[in-house]
Amino acid sequence: MFRSIASTLSNCFKIPELKSRIWFTLGILAVCRLLAVIRIPGLNGDALSHFFATKGGDGGILGMYNTFAGGAFEHCAIGSLGIMPYISATIIIQLLTAVVPRLSKLVREEGGRTQIIKYGRYLTVLLCIGQGIYFAKSWLHPEAQFPGIGQLVLIDNHLLYYFVAVTVMTAGTMVLMWMGEQITERGIGNGVSLIITIGILARLPRAVRALIDMFHPANGQETDYHFMGTGLLLLALLVLVVGGVIAITQAQRKIPVQYAQRAVGRKMYAGGTSFMPLRVNYAGVMPIIFAQSILMFPQPVCTWLASAFTKTPVLHDFFISLAQTLNYGSWLYMATYSAMILFFSYFWVATQFNEIQIADDLKKNGGYIPGVRPGQGTSDYLHHAMSRITLAGAIFLTVIATIPIILGRKLNIPPDVAQFFGGTSILISVGVLLDTMRQVESHLMMRHYDGFLKKGKIRGRF
């Protein structure tokens, strides 16, 4: 197998066009990593980096965001916001397009898609400003999130500090967005996804070091993880999770479709048999991202309300208790998190999978599902089939999303290690790597080279 992979990688550099695309992509990704280490002027990034290196972050919301930004947040870097504001804006615009008739009509018009992309960029700037102010405030008053870290801001004029920090972080995100588009257009594709993936994989060396320290602590002290059985269980869990993610990501139900013989003008088109693939994990990683984004707010809001009602002990104690109950990793957090993933899995399918339009298109093209009446009958059949397989995909997402929380909070596994055993990190990395392999295989197959697998095939391979 390894000889086949080495041969395939060698073939990639035998095709001039593919070779140039690969080197271009690697160059852009290298620049992205630079944006994750170049610090914003006026910030002491060493103190925050030392906090994350020694304590592994808190594993909470800011720790999760730091992972997606490739460690840029802990360095107080230009790319601290990462590419997530652009992704959030794209998702919001996409959802609005499905529910707002004016935007839905605009998409179908000539040049409408370009206008929608422009709206997404404007919304990205607004989200960057909002998140940038939140990040700048967390650096200005770090005691709440990072106890004992000391002063991070070296600029005495706080107004100037906010202006510089927010402007630089917004510009960094816009540069990352532009570079992602360049990779999609001139590289090997999936530009934005590759930027996120390379940021996640950049955390892998620290995770390996933390895993080694679990068994051989640097300070020589005994730990709870000196049994080899724990290491073997973690390795088996990693293999199981990665295998499960690959299987569910590629899993699909094939709905058979037959086309009747039909005449168009003077030409007669023969009928045939095909299939309609329905993906088990149709929503991808979106339900987890939605759930995490919403659960960022309840605890800070409760903490703020508790500070606002300091003169009313009953309300103050109530909001303090509620904030502690909603803490990352608590039973209420995990229950709410799981319920929201299930809900958003169906919500995404409801907004993106239009079974009525699919049934109408099949009817217009002379296609039908054997044993199912065309039109409304086909629509009901697709709705029922999609609802059942979405439940399986949603349960899978819930299990994968809660594994890092259980490992980190219940079994005391370091957050840097736990994130590679599930959650958005593993889902995004595996999904993007599979898509990238499909892109490279399409170039290889066009030139009559073997792909990454000689036996079997990657789902979607030509």
For residue 123, being part of any structural domain is answered with: yes
Strand partners, 455: none
Q: b vs e for 114-128, b when ≥16 Cβ sit within 10 Å of the residue's Cβ?
A: eebeebbeebbbebb
pLDDT value for 166? 93
CATH of the domain at 115: 1.10.3370.10
Q: Which residue has the tokens 């707010």?
A: 297
Helix H or strand E encompassing 393: helix 376-405
Copy the structure tokens of residue 156: 């005495």
For residue 273, being part of any structural domain is answered with: no
For residue 400, being part of any structural domain is answered with: no
Helix H or strand E encompassing 180: helix 158-186
Helix H or strand E encompassing 55: helix 45-55
Q: Which of 211, 242, 212 is nearest to 407 (CA)?
A: 211
pLDDT value for 226? 47
DSSP-assigned states of every residue in 8-42:
HHHHHTTSHHHHHHHHHHHHHHHHHHHHTTSBPTT
Q: b vs e for 83-99, b when ≥16 Cβ sit within 10 Å of the residue's Cβ?
A: bbbbbbbbbebbbbbee
For residue 51, being part of any structural domain is answered with: yes
- The rounded average pLDDT for each run of 10 residues, N- to C-terminus, in the chain (462 residues) is 63 79 90 90 81 61 73 86 85 81 80 85 91 86 72 85 92 92 86 85 80 64 55 80 86 85 62 82 81 75 77 81 78 87 88 85 82 87 90 89 80 75 78 80 68 50 38
pLDDT value for 128? 92
Query: At residue 98, what is the residue type?
Result: A
For residue 63, being part of any structural domain is answered with: yes
What sign does the CA torsion over 420, 422, 425, 427 have? positive
Enter the pTM of the model: 0.76
Give the number of other CB atoms < 10 A from CB of residue 106.
Answer: 16
For residue 458, being part of any structural domain is answered with: yes
Copy the structure tokens of residue 211: 């895993």
Query: At residue 79, what is the residue type?
Result: G
pLDDT value for 51? 76
- CA gap 26, 48 in Å, rounded: 29
Q: Which of 268, 206, 227, 262 is nearest to 418 (CA)?
A: 206
Structural domains in the chain (count): 1
Q: 111 is in which domain, residue-wise?
A: 1-202+425-462
Contacts by 293-298, CB closer than 8 A, 24 or more apart: 293/88, 294/340, 295/61, 295/326, 295/333, 295/336, 295/337, 295/340, 296/61, 298/326
What sign does the CA torsion over 95, 99, 103, 104 have? positive
77 phi, psi to nearest 5 deg = -95, 170
Would you call 272 helix, strand, or coil by DSSP? strand
Distance of CA 111 to the CA centre of its chain: 29
For residue 67, being part of any structural domain is answered with: yes
270 phi, psi to nearest 5 deg = -75, 150
For residue 315, being part of any structural domain is answered with: no
DSSP-assigned states of every residue in 401-458:
HHHHHIIIIIS---HHHHGGGSHHHHHHHHHHHHHHHHHHHHHHHHTT---S-SSS--
Which residues, 6 or more positions from 248, have their beta carbon under 8 angstroms from its beta carbon?
A: 280, 281, 393, 396
